Amino acid sequence: MRNVFVRGAVSGAAAGLLTSVAAFFFLGPTLSAAIALEGPSDGEGPVSRETQKLLGMPLGFVFAGLALGLLFAVAYRVLPSGADPWQRSLGLAAGGFAALALIPQLRYPANPPGVGDPETIAGRTSGYLLAVALGVVVVSGSYAAVRALRVRGVSAPVRQSAVAGAAGLTVAIGFALLPDNTDPVGAPAVLLWDFRIRSIGLLVLLYAALGAIFAALTLRTQTTAAPDSSAGLRV
């Protein structure tokens, strides 16, 4: 169990660091443009913009990746699967992306700095957490339904179509029930969608890197353990 958590922590931190490097070059210019629209600040804050970009952003991604990696390790250990580590890890990463990133982002897309009324942050946070809960319920429920239908002998086309339809309907109903974000968006449309597309792209990279690195470490662990087991049998 400990080795699984170590692999999760290492994989998550490495994925976060890789994503932070990509964010510096891929998202940095868009962030700078969004910050420039806010106009000059009233004074220099306790942490400069450059320090936030060069130190704050990498640390934020690394710690977020670390936490995500530990959750990934728990799910990898708990969820049953007959697939090999590579398929299992990438499948789990795809499920995590859908539940924790894609579904919430579809309902509440990311906005650049300066967008959003500070007085509504509590309501916006609550709505986003509800969207995350919806994603977790839909993805975990779909996984359980696919396994149950497979055990019952339902063919792959039928079970996959049925589960996909039920998941889409659940997401649509959930989106309709979630509160709307009524804050005005003053940023130009080009900048707004550029920021949103780049943000979701970085999330794709984060989850893909997490799944791939975790799978590689797991395969390496199995390869290292195999000779040791054989040596013990020959003694």
Amino acid at 16: G
Residue ranges per structural domain of the chain: 1-115+187-235, 117-184
The residue among 167, 221, 168, 156 whose CA lies nearest residue 6 is 221
**pLDDT value of residue 40:** 56
DSSP character string of the chain: -HHHHHHHHHHHHHHHHHHHHHHHHHTHHHHHHHHHHT---SS--SS-HHHIIIIIHHHHHHHHHHHHHHHHHHHHHHS---S-HHHHHHHHHHHHHIIIIIHHHHHS----TT-S-GGGHHHHHHHHHHHHHHHHHHHHHHHHHHHHHHHTT--HHHHHHHHHHHHHHHHHHHHHHSPP------S-HHHHHHHHHHHHHHHHHHHHHHHHHHHHHHHHHHHHHHHHHHHHHH-
Question: Residue 73 has which token pair?
Answer: 């390790």
Give 61-90 pLDDT, tens digit per residue. 999 999 999 999 999 998 876 678 899 999
Q: At a CB cut-off of 8 Å and minimum separation 6, what does 174 contact? A: 107, 131, 134, 138
**pLDDT value of residue 231:** 46
Amino acid at 6: V
d(CA 15, CA 209): 5
Question: What parts of the chain have a pLDDT lower than 70?
Answer: 1, 37-54, 81-82, 114-117, 225-235
| pTM given for the model | 0.86
Q: At a CB cut-off of 8 Å and minimum separation 6, what does 74 contact? A: 8
On whether the CB atoms of residues 50 and 191 are closer than 8 A, the answer is no
DSSP character string of 170-181: HHHHHHHHSPP-
**pLDDT value of residue 233:** 41
Question: Residue 172 has which token pair?
Answer: 């649509």
Dihedral angle over CA of 123, 63, 70, 146, nearest 10: 50
d(CA 114, CA 186): 8
**pLDDT value of residue 230:** 46
**Could you tell me how many residues make up the chain?**
235
On whether the CB atoms of residues 72 and 93 are closer than 8 A, the answer is yes
**pLDDT value of residue 176:** 96
DSSP character string of 83-121: S-HHHHHHHHHHHHHIIIIIHHHHHS----TT-S-GGGH
